[in-house]
Amino acid sequence: MKTTTTPQSPNTEKAVLGTLMAEPKLADEVAGLHGDLFFTPAHRAIFDAISEIRADGGVPNIIAVTQRLDAQKKLTSVGGAGEVTDMLSRATGGLSALEYHAQTLRDLHGRRSIISAAIAMQSAAMDMAANADEVLQSAGESVLSLSLGTPTDSMRSAAEIVPSLIEELEALMDNKQTLGLKTGFADFDQVTGGLRGGTLAIVAGRPAMGKSALMMNMADNLTRRGVPVLYFSLEMPATELAARVVLSRANTNTELVRNGFVDLAGQRRIGSAALDFSGEPMYIDDRCGMSLLDIRGRARLAARRWGVKIVFVDYLQLVSHANAKSRENEVGFVSRGLKAMAMELGIPVVAAAQLNRQAENRPDNRPKLSDLRESGSIEQDADLVALVHRPAYYAVQDEEPEPQDAELIIAKHRAGRTGTLNMTWRPSLTRFGGRSEPTNIVSAPRLTDESNGVYAPDKSLWEAINE
């Protein structure tokens, strides 16, 4: 049955207060008790008096509470000494009963919070002078701030922690797993132990260094092993990202495809790679201009709907946040929000970030952690920062060599060592790899040479696959 009254329970509030005065030590055993849980102002005042006495090192029994309220000239407003004394008769006795009643108060407080947020959203929506996008984002932030979950005691003894630690260490020593998700880059996985749940990793570099390519390579390696991946692309359409994955898997030069020079064997490889990719758990969101709120909401939905185990964001400086006072303030909000999202969902979040121009003023052009653009908050919030560097990008040459040397500089690593990992970069495949990986790349033809033997058969990909 629906009710139009405000969710509240005065008797439950009295039971909790009576128990706290009868057995003060129980207050330390119940997580999340605070004054806002009490709807009745008089009950809130009594709880505040109990809390103040405990904070001062005293024992909040009936006498101490009555004296504190009288000294604050609040005793009459709460109903007098008789009302406070009457609450003792309602004491439930015992921790389990107190926890039950405390959870009831949390539930009622949550319902009141929902009602208050709904009223505020309705009022804002009716204000025609307000910007609709700002109203919507504010409404979303109000919803995200609501929590009905039961607070848990985060304090654990060493005896509670060690059993799960032993299991984890045994698995590592038996080479059964890493601490986190393997990215498919052996050196990186060895140094980092994989991408761990609750962490924020930043892949940073100057424009055209290959940040997006490296992240998509990681995402591709993960999804090939059946790991559900969510990739936010704020700069590039989903079809282009998918094309990179498919053509890289098909070992086909993107320039060949772009100019229509693909032979029958190439078509078959592309079609086969596309079919394989279509059956794998990669989810790409390419909506432009997404806010931090959008990303958190979509990530939460993807984790619930598809069991997503890792989120990629390309790239951090393109994510917006309403009401930011400055660009630096906005970027700081976003980096902290992505870290909070990783902690909330218990999965790793990997975000690309731009570097400023300082590296280009150095003799070797090698980037540093201090080059992170627009906000020191990124450096502070990230658990790991990897800087992409390709020396050939700065070399004076007619065309890019392939393959070419590349470096992944681990500039910050909260859980381990830093250093430089040597890699290779294959521009025609938009793919990074280890130095020992094969370099069998189909070279692009010179378009003016009619004798190069490369042609484009008059067949569809699906026809080529089925031949």
In the block, tokens 């790409």 appear at: 284
Are residues 30 and 102 located together in one domain of the fold?
A: yes
Which residue would you say has higher pLDDT here, 78 or 137?
A: 78
Measured distance CA(185)–CA(193) in Å, rounded: 11
Region 241-266: what's the mean pLDDT?
75
Are residues 364 and 409 located together in one domain of the fold?
A: yes
Are residues 66 and 21 located together in one domain of the fold?
A: yes
Residue 259 is predicted with a pLDDT of: 65
Write down the pTM of the prediction.
0.64
Lowest pLDDT segment from 39-53, 87-101, 221-235, 342-356: 87-101
User: Does the pLDDT of residue 138 top 60, yes or no?
Assistant: yes
User: Does the pLDDT of residue 174 top 50, yes or no?
Assistant: yes
- SS3 for the chain is CCCCCCCCCHHHHHHHHHHHHHCHHHHHHCCCCCHHHCCCHHHHHHHHHHHHHHHCCCCCCHHHHHHHHHHCCCCCCCCHHHHHHHHHCCCCCCHHHHHHHHHHHHHHHHHHHHHHHHHHHHHHHHCCCCCHHHHHHHHHHHHHCCCCCCCCCCCCCHHHHHHHHHHHHHHHHCCCCCCCECCCCHHHHHHHCCECCCCEEEEEECCCCCHHHHHHHHHHHHHHCCCCEEEEECCCCHHHHHHHHHHHHCCCCHHHHHCCCCCHHHHHHHHHHHHHHHCCCEEEECCCCCEHHHHHHHHHHHHHHHCCCEEEEECHHHCECCCCCCHHHHHHHHHHHHHHHHHHHCCCEEEEEEECHHHHHCCCCCCCHHHECCCHHHHHHCCEEEEEECHHHHCCCCCCCCCEEEEEEEEEECCCCCEEEEEEEEHHHCEEECCCCCCCCCCCCCCCCCCCCCCCCCCCHHHHHHC
The verdict on residue 355 lying in a domain is yes
Of 144, 166, 185, which residue constitutes the final position of a domain?
144
The enclosing domain of 433 has a CATH number of 3.40.50.300
Measured distance CA(444)–CA(252) in Å, rounded: 9
Residue 312 is predicted with a pLDDT of: 93
Are residues 386 and 456 located together in one domain of the fold?
A: yes
H-state helical runs in 129-288: 132-144, 158-173, 186-192, 211-224, 238-249, 254-258, 264-278
Q: What is the pLDDT of residues 372-410, one digit of tens each?
A: 766 667 778 888 888 888 887 777 666 666 778 888 888
State the total domains in the chain. Answer: 2
Are residues 138 and 181 located together in one domain of the fold?
A: no
Residue 467 is predicted with a pLDDT of: 53
Contacts for 294 with CB less than 8 Å, ≥ 6 apart:
287
Q: What is the pLDDT of residues 94-109, one digit of tens each?
A: 788 888 888 888 889 8
Are residues 324 and 365 located together in one domain of the fold?
A: yes
- The residue range of the domain holding 19 is 10-144
Are residues 77 and 120 located together in one domain of the fold?
A: yes
The verdict on residue 2 lying in a domain is no
The verdict on residue 164 lying in a domain is no
Are residues 183 and 96 located together in one domain of the fold?
A: no
